[in-house]
Amino acid sequence: MKSIRKMTRLELAALICSHLKNKGLEITLTGGSCVSIYTNNKYESWDLDFIETQSISRKELANYLAELSFYEENRYFKNSETEIFIEFPPGPLAIGSEPVSKVIILKAATGELQIISPTDCVKDRLVAYYFWNDIQCLEQAVMVSESQEIDIEEIRRWSKNEGEETKFDFL
């Protein structure tokens, strides 16, 4: 196996996802690193945000990640071979007020990565735009929609349910 230092973001995320799955913990990648993966690093995020589908103790999680030479510092897990760090925001796996509609598996040389779909990635970025007027997240949503096939009608439906139909129509 190649060293963590030489891994792409996808390879590192897949390694972590597969390693934890082998320990009985299912996790899904969300957030900015999904944008990085779906846009071939047109946007770069330096953290891997994983949502756990079931809860385990922080100590047990730290022990599993230590097997990959990650150490805990504050609320993050770091590895001296990479600038990318891991975070486990609280679940559930949802975007706005709705559960994630589709999770997909991406394969890499280091394992399989469970990741939200490109459509849900766009919705995830739009949450920050809709509720906090975060223009950078709107730009990330556009980048993903230009790089991947997305379901615009699903995004329209979701936007309406979130009470943000006006902002969606403005796009």
CATH fold of 4-116: Beta Polymerase; domain 2 (3.30.460)
pLDDT by residue (tens digit) across 66-97?
A: 999 999 999 999 999 999 999 999 989 999 99
pTM of the model: 0.94
For the segment 3-19, the average pLDDT, to the nearest whole number, is: 97
Is residue 170's pLDDT more than 90? no
Cis, peptide link before residue 99, omega less than 30° from 0: no
Considering the chain, what percentage of its residues have pLDDT values greater than 70?
Answer: 100
- The boundaries of every CATH 3.30.460 domain in the chain are 4-116
